[in-house]
Amino acid sequence: MSGVPHPFSGKVAVVTGAAGNIGLATAGRLASQGADLALLDVDAAKLEQARASLLEHEVRINIYTCDVTDSEQVRQTVETVVAELGQIDFLFNNAGYQGAFAPVQDYPEADFARVMQINVVGAFHVLRHVSRHMVARKFGRIVNTASMAGVQGPPNMAAYGASKFAIIGLTEVAAKDLAPYNIRVNAISPAFMGPGFMWDRQVELQAKAGSQYFSTDPKEVAQQMIGSIPMRRYGNINEIPGVVAFLLSDDSSYMTGVNLPISGGI
pTM of the prediction? 0.96
Q: Which residues are catalytic?
A: 160
Q: Is residue 2 part of a domain?
A: no
Residue 85 contacts residue 13 (beta carbons within 8 Å): no
Task: Supply the pLDDT for residue 186.
Answer: 99
Same domain (yes/no): 176, 228: no
Same domain (yes/no): 147, 253: yes
Q: What CATH number is given to the structural domain containing 61?
A: 3.40.50.720
Task: Supply the pLDDT for residue 4.
Answer: 61
Q: Is residue 169 part of a domain?
A: yes
Plot region of 60 (φ>0 → left; ψ -120 to 50 → alpha; else → beta): beta
Q: Pick from 78, 77, 116: which is nearest to 96 by CA?
A: 116
Task: List, as one string, the DSSP characters of 68-126.
Answer: TT-HHHHHHHHHHHHHHHS---EEEE--------B-GGG--HHHHHHHHIIIIIIHHHH
Split into its structural domains, the chain has a count of 2
Three-state DSSP at 177 gives: helix
Sign for the pseudo-dihedral over CA of 174, 176, 177, 179:
positive
Three-state DSSP at 145 gives: strand
pLDDT in tens, 81-131: 999 999 999 999 999 999 999 999 999 999 999 999 999 999 999 999 999
Task: Supply the pLDDT for residue 3.
Answer: 56
Task: Supply the pLDDT for residue 1.
Answer: 42
- In the chain, which stretches have pLDDT less than 50? 1-2
Q: What is the DSSP letter of 171?
A: H
Range of the domain at 41: 12-191+237-261
Q: Is residue 6 part of a domain?
A: no
Task: Supply the pLDDT for residue 198.
Answer: 86
Same domain (yes/no): 212, 169: no
Same domain (yes/no): 212, 244: no
